[in-house]
Amino acid sequence: MRKGFTLAEVLITIGIIGVVAAMTIPTLITKYKRHVAEVKLQKFYSVINNAMKMIEQNYGEISEVTTIHKDTSDFSKEFYEKYFTPYMSNVKVKAFYDRYYIVFADGSGFHVRNYYTELDFLYYLDMNKKMNEKNAKNYKKYEFYFQYNPTKRVVASYGIYFDWNTLSSNNTQEEQKRKCYNGSYTYYCAAVIQRNGWKIPNDYPHIK
């Protein structure tokens, strides 16, 4: 009666385990990264909308709040600390290069751009990755674009309610998905995910 395995059998078993691990671990890592991204995006969507409601409740319409910033696209540290941080927990206002960002405890963050009565929110899944990545094409894969819709009084992904590109061309959902996927206009990626119930589609190319 055999009491153990031969060396050859052990090596074959280890080899099989290695092949299976090599095939499954990358898939598991991708699924984990996508789950983290989904949680962060949905949380930001909720937090920023709640903050906007509180800002307008306490200070009036956002167009009035931002009137003094008509001539600049970026906001000061004082602006963030007055209007946004009181309605967000565990956040810090940090300066990166020539502008300020609100950074969450999970490492994600955003900054606000002002175009007269419009507010654009550029959200980043990983602020460290954005700041340390020299190639803009790489960090833009982790950049998600939201806009405040003054009519519906809600912040939504760029392309959901309003899209100034549609003034010259009809950007259908399929067209937005195509532009997101091929990297020509990654601003649409947030809309692709939002329309999918905040779940990243299986064929999504930017988070692997």
pTM over 0.85: no
Q: Going residue by residue through the chain (208 aa), what tens digit of pLDDT does each one get?
A: 556 667 776 677 777 777 766 666 677 788 899 999 999 999 999 999 999 999 888 887 776 666 655 445 568 888 899 889 999 999 999 988 778 999 999 999 999 887 655 688 999 999 888 777 766 566 677 789 998 877 777 888 887 765 555 444 456 788 889 989 988 788 889 999 998 999 999 999 988 7
* Long-range contacts of 197-206, Cβ-Cβ distance < 8 Å, separation of 24 or more: 198/38, 198/41, 198/42, 198/45, 199/38, 200/34, 200/37, 200/38, 204/34, 205/181, 206/141, 206/142, 206/180
At position 70, the amino acid (one-letter code) is K
Q: Report the pLDDT value the prediction gives residue 29, as an integer from 0 to 100.
A: 80
At position 128, the amino acid (one-letter code) is N
* Residue 163 tokens, joined: 């899209």
Q: Is the dihedral of CA 169, 122, 46, 79 positive or negative?
A: negative
* Residue 100 tokens, joined: 């300020």
> 60: exposed, middle or buried (C-beta count within 10 Å: 0-12, 13-18, 19+)?
exposed
For tokens 């803009």, what's the residue?
136
CA distance 22 to 2: 31
CA distance 80 to 111: 9
